[in-house]
Structure 1
Amino acid sequence: MSLEKQLLILSEDIYELPNPQLALDDPEGLSAIGGDLTTERLIHLYQHGFFPWYSDADPILWWHPAQRCQLLPYEFHLSKSLKKHTKRFSGSIKINTAFHETIQYCRQQRQEMEGTWISNDIQQAFTLLHKLGFAHSIEVWKDESLIGGLYGIALGEFFFGESMFSLEANASKLALHSLCLNADILGIKYIDCQVESDHLMSLGARLIPRNDFIQQLKQAIPTKCKNTELLKIDQLNFKVE
């Protein structure tokens, strides 16, 4: 018997959990509406595979796609051109030294290209998550200038990637490549890319069924999830090979 699809309207209970199997088919993966962006609710829903994605004009929309876009660090595809670029790269790649600037650049670039889901509320919520040790930025620096990067949430062995930006060619790819190179020391086994894109698939991402993704979450994230602070290596310079 197939389950009837339905959209859950979240209550004030920050630990309320939608059923991902009831997510809509159109728009695909939409599971719940409303609620808030408190730290507790965000961590609880991310821990179970949900993420917020909406524009300023909309209420908060929570998604759980049937096919999840995921990158395993050891499957990152290093193209010949990117390999040449990494060998010529003379800058540095750091973690958590410019989170505010990273999310701001991501917001600005998305806004210029296609509109953005990184609203003021999202930016404030993730900035608080960063201060609490849950959200992190990987930053690409050239001299004293930030030229690219990405940010996301780390829970257990998962890194939930949110957005990336490049002010110079290949800068965001360098950030993701560095994250993959350092995944073992960071305790990261899975990188969640949420929604499929040609760009992500070209870098080695793949699609996995929702049920497989849910099983990964159960195995890789503790029930009582604590901040990882990515092993408290906030001043580490990443080595790009």
Structure 2
Amino acid sequence: MSRRIVELSPDPDAPFPPVDWALRDPDGLLAVGGDLSPTRFLNAYRNGIFPWFSEGEPILWWSPSQRAVFRTDGVHLAHRLRRRLRNSGWTVRADTAFAEVVAGCAAPRPGQHGTWITAGMQAAYQHLHALGHAHSIEVLDADGQLIGGLFGLSFGRMFCADSMYSAVSGASSLALAALAWRLRDWGWPLIDAQVPNAHTQRLGVDIWPRPRYLAALTELRDAPGLSQPWSDAFGHWSAAQVCPLLPHAPAA
């Protein structure tokens, strides 16, 4: 079958095309257009699709053939990092600085000239946060200053991590580790990380074929979850409390 990019209807309730229509090159490109309304955003994520585009481009929607996934019992930290974090005085909390975490993730990395987290994307995530669907995990230093974190969407018992950042080395790793620990405690087995990179591979990401990911997503997306802000349910934890509860990284 000849594959082509589908142009989405202006109606935010219109369904996405089947994900097996996604292109092989570039891998996973499925559709173009539409909007970033909460209805369309959630419909996309609930079907294994996410937006990824740069400023000046149309909205592009993706469902890659290989998916980066963390098992919540499988996130691990290197021994040296664990030792540094235990003595850092850092703490982790949730949903108290969502806009700041998104802005930190949107800041261009060294050597980059732009970001996929455009102003429009930031506004869309802020809307989803106000509705109780988007959450941030925040890392604070010993003086209570925000030094890193991550954010993403949740529905059912599924968390889809969109981006993370560190203003101080190790902060994003602690945010992910604390998130995995709390989700595991809640009975949530997976964190979607979309596409792998060198950083997530060091933290224990698995690579699943799209059908396996979609099967797990279908099982988890309608399960009872948490629709309110996470600040109370997540709690306020020190790095010294989190690190001993994580699996060790495998020996090199």
Asked if these proteins are the same fold (TM beyond 0.5), I'd say yes
Superposed, 1:81-100 pairs within 5 Å as 81-100=80-99
Secondary structure of residue in 2 paired with 1:89 = coil
Q: TM-score, normalised by structure 2?
A: 0.88
- Tell me if the contact between 1:51 and 1:62 (Cα under 8 Å) persists in the aligned partners: yes
In the TM superposition, residue 240 of structure 1 has moved relative to its aligned partner by 1.8
**Match in the other structure for 2:242:** 240
Q: 1:34 to 1:55 in 2, by over 3 A?
A: same
Code of the residue aligned with 2:242 in structure 1: it is V
Superposed, 1:1-241 pairs within 5 Å as 3-15=1-13, 16-110=15-109, 113=112, 115-142=114-141, 143-222=143-222, 228-229=227-228, 233=232, 236-238=235-237, 239-241=241-243
Which has the larger displacement, 14-23 or 165-174? 14-23
Q: Distance in 1 between matches of 2:234 and 2:220?
A: 26
In the TM superposition, residue 193 of structure 1 has moved relative to its aligned partner by 0.5
- Tell me if the contact between 2:152 and 2:160 (Cα under 8 Å) persists in the aligned partners: yes
Pairwise CA RMSD of aligned residues?
Answer: 2.0
Q: 1:226 to 1:79 in 2, by over 3 A?
A: closer
Cα displacement string for residues 111-132 of structure 1 (whole angstroms, at most 9, x for unaligned residues) = 8645210001100000010011
**Match in the other structure for 2:248:** none
Cα displacement string for residues 40-82 of structure 1 (whole angstroms, at most 9, x for unaligned residues) = 1101111001000000110000000000011111111221112
- Tell me if the contact between 1:70 and 1:192 (Cα under 8 Å) persists in the aligned partners: yes
Q: TM-score, normalised by structure 1?
A: 0.92
Code of the residue aligned with 1:157 in structure 2: it is R
Q: Which runs of 4+ in 1 moved over 4 A?
A: none
Q: 1:226 to 1:188 in 2, by over 3 A?
A: closer
Secondary structure of residue in 1 paired with 2:121 = helix
Mind listing any 5+ residue stretches in structure 2 that lack a counterpart? 244-252
- Across the two proteins, how many residue pairs are aligned to each other? 238
Code of the residue aligned with 1:221 in structure 2: it is R
Q: 1:114 to 1:178 in 2, by over 3 A?
A: farther
In the TM superposition, residue 109 of structure 1 has moved relative to its aligned partner by 3.9
Secondary structure of residue in 2 paired with 1:182 = helix
- Tell me if the contact between 1:97 and 1:235 (Cα under 8 Å) persists in the aligned partners: no
Mind listing any 5+ residue stretches in structure 1 that lack a counterpart? none
